[in-house]
Every structure is written in structure tokens, then in C-alpha cells.
Amino acid sequence: MNNEREQQISAAAAGNTPAENGQQRVWALVRSTFHWLLSAAYFFPVCGFLLLLGIFIDPRKNDWPQRMLCRVTMKLAGARLIVRRAPGFDPTRTCFLLINHVNLFDPFVLYATIPQYFRGLEFESHFRIPIYGWMMKRFGNVPVPDHNRPSDLKRMWRMTQAALDSGVSLAVFPEGQRTRDGRVGPFKDGVFRMAMKFGTPIIPVSTVGAFEFNKKTGWLLRPGTITVYLHDVIETKYLRKEDFEALRDRVHEIISRPIEEALAAGGKQEANLSPVRG
């Protein structure tokens, strides 16, 4: 009874009656179901076709259709994508792309907006999922061990260096998990140690609006704008061991800044970076 009374008071404060709130919830469910079905009806047949092509064609030579798949899927899911590039962003640099992790649509958003060829570091357990795991392996993703055994970590480092040496940038979610409150969580150390060891530059990437679009804790899709911020390149080649924490904290601050600004402004504020529409 108390919870029901609190909901009624909140609704009254917002100017909505319980009936209006109920109608809004029903509409949100119907709209979300529609976008899920529409995007799935497009994604699965086209993705299946691209998987067949992947058997015969090197995915690096088949990059444009993969990007189109991601762009159209996000559009049908109800998301409008905007890209904002900082002056020091360089799409020609092989790098680690470090991104805040929000929901299952993150890979689609990133591949639809980042203008360079890249693959990702992904948990090894995902590679055991039927069909999906084969696809990730075929497309060149690097498995991250589920257990921190020295032999497994060395294998990951070798595969990571091989990918970078071949000119493939690698996308990483340094939090290691999706956010529950929209904010950027603490970063794990591994990718920063690899970047410093290999002398590979880092490009921080922030996605704003993705949390409002879809949250880890639910399946509802809320159509809206997702803005992707491509920040300046950060060099690591001449950094020393004692610079490790400063590097990690700097990247965390850069990625967090536009997200915190948007949250403070109710999701409407954008950081001051040069706009480029995607």
C-alpha cells in the first residue's frame, strides 16, 4: 500500500494521473517490441548472409557491408547516431580504442561510427557460443581468458600484439562490465599495461545517450540520440612504469567527462568537440 501511495504521489507531482502513467508504460512496451522485431527481422537474415560471405572473403575486404549492417540495425532499433571528433583524433593510427560499456548494442554503435578497421577483445567464454563464437574468431576478435593463468595471459598478449602488428586496432571496454547507473566504473589495468608495453597509442571513446536508449537491467528500447565522442590520440610510447596510474586516470577522466556533463544536464548537454554527423 505504501509503495502504491508513493507512486500516486510521484505521478501527481509530475502532473500525470495513474491512468496516464499506465498508458505510457503500455506505449513504451509496444514501441520497444516493435523496434526489437523490426531490427531483428533485418539483422538476422543480413548477418547470416555476411557470415556466408565471411567463409569465402576476408572480413577486412568485406568491411563496408558490416558497417551498413550496424548502421541500419541501430536505425531500426530507434537510435539516431551522431559522431563528434576531437581535433587530435586520427583514424589512421593503429591503436587501442577504449570505450565505456553500456549495453548489448555497443558493438553496433561503435562499428557504425568509428571510421577505421578494428576488432575487439572479448571474453573467451563468448567464443564457445554456437555460431557466434565461430563468427568472432573468423572476424579476428582476440579472446580474453576467463581465468588469469599465466599461460593464458601470455597467449592473449601474443594475439593482441599480432593483431596490432598487422594494422588492426582493438576496441576494449576497460570497465569489464556494463554500467548499471549510466556512469563510468573503475577501469581494469590490463589494457593500459599492454598499451605501454607495446607503445600503442590509446584513443578514448565516449558514448552518451546509450544508457537512456537501453539499460543492462531491462529490455526496453527508448528511441533517441546516441552521441559518440572520438577523443584525441594519447601516445604511450615514451611512458614509464611510474606513469601507469596517471595514464589510466587520465583516460577515465576523458571518457567520463561528456557522460557526466550529459547526466548533470538531464542527458541533453554535449561536450565541446567538433561535430561530425555519422
**Residue 150: inside a domain:** yes
- Give CB contacts under 8 A, 24+ apart, made by 20-23: none
Res 162: pLDDT:
93
The number of distinct structural domains making up the chain is: 1
Q: For residues 36 and 32, give the distance between their C-alpha atoms in angstroms, rounded to a whole number.
A: 6
**Residue 225: inside a domain:** yes
**Residue 17: inside a domain:** no
Res 16: pLDDT:
61
Confidence band for 53, pLDDT divided at 50, 70 and 90: confident
pLDDT in tens, 163-205: 999 999 999 999 999 999 999 999 999 999 999 999 999 999 9
**Residue 120: inside a domain:** yes
pLDDT in tens, 228-264: 999 999 999 999 999 999 999 999 999 999 999 999 9
pLDDT in tens, 5-51: 444 444 444 456 666 688 888 999 999 999 999 999 999 999 888 87
Q: For residues 229 and 30, give the distance between their C-alpha atoms in angstroms, rounded to a whole number.
A: 31
Burial level of 173, CB count in 10 A (0-12/13-18/19+)? buried
Print the domain residue range for 121: 70-276
**Residue partners of 89: CB distance under 8 A and separation at least 6:** 203, 230, 231, 232, 233
- Reduced to 3 states (helix: H, G, I; strand: E, B; else coil), residue 85 is strand
- Beta strands across the sheet bearing 202-208: 142-144, 118-123, 169-172, 96-99, 202-208, 224-230, 79-85, 274-276
**Residue 33: inside a domain:** no
**Residue 136: inside a domain:** yes
**Residue 42: inside a domain:** no
**Residue partners of 29: CB distance under 8 A and separation at least 6:** 220
**Residue 139: inside a domain:** yes
Please state the pTM of the whole predicted model: 0.86
Res 7: pLDDT:
47
Contact (Cβ atoms closer than 8 angstroms) between residue 177 and residue 163: no
Res 85: pLDDT:
97
